[in-house]
């Protein structure tokens, strides 16, 4: 269903990442949803694919907007 919340497609809850500016959700053609941290591209403290759920993160920035 296209209007489903994409976060619900993750196998485990994302934790802090869900409320952060930096996650990128992707869904494979096989229907598997995974989350990548875009901040990891320039912040070497953070893994590109953090273990979920994330409880604490040095790069967390609250998401703004809707
Ligand atoms: S910066 Fe941290 S909290 Fe934000 S998306 Fe990346 S791993 Fe998650």
Pocket of ligand 1 (CB under 6 A): 16-17, 20, 22-23, 37, 39, 46, 50, 54, 57, 59-60
DSSP track, 1-37:
-TTS-GGGGSSS--BGGGGBS-EEEEE-TTS-EEEEE
- Which among 7, 12, 16, 52 is the best mutation to test ligand 1's pocket, defined by most ligand atoms within 8 Å of the CB? 16
In this predicted structure, the answer to whether residue 6 has a pLDDT above a threshold of 80 is yes
In this predicted structure, the answer to whether residue 55 has a pLDDT above a threshold of 90 is yes
The confidence band for 1, taking pLDDT boundaries of 50, 70 and 90, is: low
Query: Whose CA is closest to atom 6 on ligand 1?
Result: 37
């Amino acid at each position: 269903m296209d209007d489903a919340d994409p976060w619900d497609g993750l196998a485990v809850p994302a934790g802090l990442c869900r409320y952060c500016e930096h996650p990128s959700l992707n869904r494979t053609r096989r229907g598997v949803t995974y989350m990548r941290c875009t901040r990891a591209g320039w912040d070497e403290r953070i893994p590109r694919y953090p273990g979920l759920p994330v409880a604490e993160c040095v790069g967390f920035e609250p998401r703004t907007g809707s």
